[in-house]
Amino acid sequence: MRGHITKRSVDALKSAASEYFLWDEKLAGFGVRVQTTGVRSYVVKYRAGGGRAAPTRRMTLGALGKLTPDEARKLAKATLGAVAHGADPAAEKGAERRGATLKELAELFLAEHVEAKRKASTAAHYRDVLERLVLPELGSRKAEKITVADIAKLHAKQHAHPYQANRVLAVVGSLYSFSGKRRIIPFGLNPTRGIEKYREQGRERYLSTKELTRLGEAIREGETIGLAYVVDETSSKAKHAPKKKNRRTVIGPHAAAAMRLLIFTGARLREILHLKWQHVDFERGMLLLSDSKTGKKAIVLNGPALAVLTSLPRIGAYVIAGQAAGTDEEGPRADLKRPWQAVAKRAHFEGVRIHDLRHTHASVGAGAGLGLPIIGKLLGHMQASTTQRYAHLDADPLRRASEHIGGRLSVALGEPSCVLVIISEGRV
């Protein structure tokens, strides 16, 4: 595309299925790059050394919002002027970046790759790992000088937290891969390569039938009379606390509905908290999400889930009423930490996370012999390997095979025939 680069023309640029450029018709080599993610930046293109045989360079001048069109044009003119006098600004910038510290490289990685191309929750996770675990140890070191031994030492330091230690490897590895592709550091340089990850214990927790009964009772109690809480009578603030009979926390219909929807649908927490009424298709019995962790997604609504939605009062655009519900500044509910803690305590749970409601939904389906492919589709898994964590619960085909073999052997041994009866809690 060609046109005159002005504030109006660049503001009108929208993302497309593939990356494209708007080149200025007045200043050759000056343009705007529009990525598929919608990120726009001013660029300058030139031939290093002059002549048609010279290699073409393209250098980013700055992002829209940080530079005005006039500022970017002046910077482009200065860059092209330097090229006319034999300079190679892109190569000089690359050489300068190759001397960057890991902290400088991390900021570039977060701004131009993670925050531009990943979901906000993923970007927050990457930033947390880097700023809390990696940069305090290695941030001031030159990125090119960091060795496998340095990263292995950092990884070993987190041995008590294997999941966290392995995330350090993943994030640092991604940072170096990005930097290599940009030729900021030598391509292929990656100090995480070859470091063996710690074995991660499965964190799935499945609620038993008795635990589900207690959960249901706790939710009903919480949304009606409220859940009782205890006050430390020795505290100086105890005298201001309500009387014992009034020490109850009501969790509210929307928090209660969120918990029920999580276990009835197997949806992720953010999929429910960010759910809008416009995404609910009552006629087809579906939640049609335009965006989720795995992209566009449809969630099947069973009878109990539909009943929850039908009975829930509508306050604003979000199903689970959140911040400033029903106003122009309305936003989704941030979390369910406090109501879940109260419910989990009343249900006498140990080590049960709210995400385990999703695992429980899947475990019931797997235990009923519905098959892992079906479970994976219900949960919205992109990879079949993700659903394999429930493989040990899919015991129905194995049980039938074992019963057949045991029956044949019993007859051959002359043993009395017997029938296995499975009752609640897995007892025979």
User: Structure pTM?
Assistant: 0.58
The pLDDT value recorded for residue 428 is 40
Q: What is the pLDDT along the chain (428 residues), one digit of tens a residue?
A: 899 999 999 999 998 888 999 999 999 999 999 998 889 999 999 987 666 777 888 888 989 988 999 999 999 999 988 888 888 787 767 655 667 899 999 999 999 899 888 877 788 899 999 999 999 999 999 998 899 999 999 999 999 999 899 999 999 999 999 998 888 888 889 999 999 999 876 667 888 889 999 999 999 999 999 888 776 666 766 666 677 767 788 899 999 999 999 999 889 899 999 999 999 999 989 898 887 766 678 888 889 999 999 999 999 999 999 877 878 788 899 899 999 999 999 999 988 999 999 888 887 777 666 776 777 777 776 666 566 666 655 555 666 677 777 777 777 777 666 655 554 444 44
The pLDDT value recorded for residue 411 is 76
User: SS3 for the chain, per residue?
Assistant: CEECCCHHHHHCCCCCCCCEEEEECCCCCEEEEECCCCCEEEEEEEECCCCCCCCEEEEEEEEECCECHHHHHHHHHHHHHHHHCCCCHHHHHHHHHHCCEHHHHHHHHHHHHHHHHCCHHHHHHHHHHHHHHHHHHHCCCEHHHCCHHHHHHHHHHCCCCHHHHHHHHHHHHHHHHHHHHCCCCCCCCCCCCCCCCCCCCCCCCCCCHHHHHHHHHHHHHHHCCCEECCCCCCCCCHHHCCCHHHCEECCCHHHHHHHHHHHHHCCCHHHHHCCEHHHEECCCCEEEECCCCCCCEEEECCHHHHHHHHHCCCCCCECCCCCCCCCCCCCCCCCCHHHHHHHHHHCCCCCCCCCHHHHHHHHHHHHCCCCHHHHHHHHCCCCHHHHHHHHHHCCHHHHHHHHHHHHHHHHHHCCCCCCCCCCHHHCC
The pLDDT value recorded for residue 427 is 40
The pLDDT value recorded for residue 247 is 74
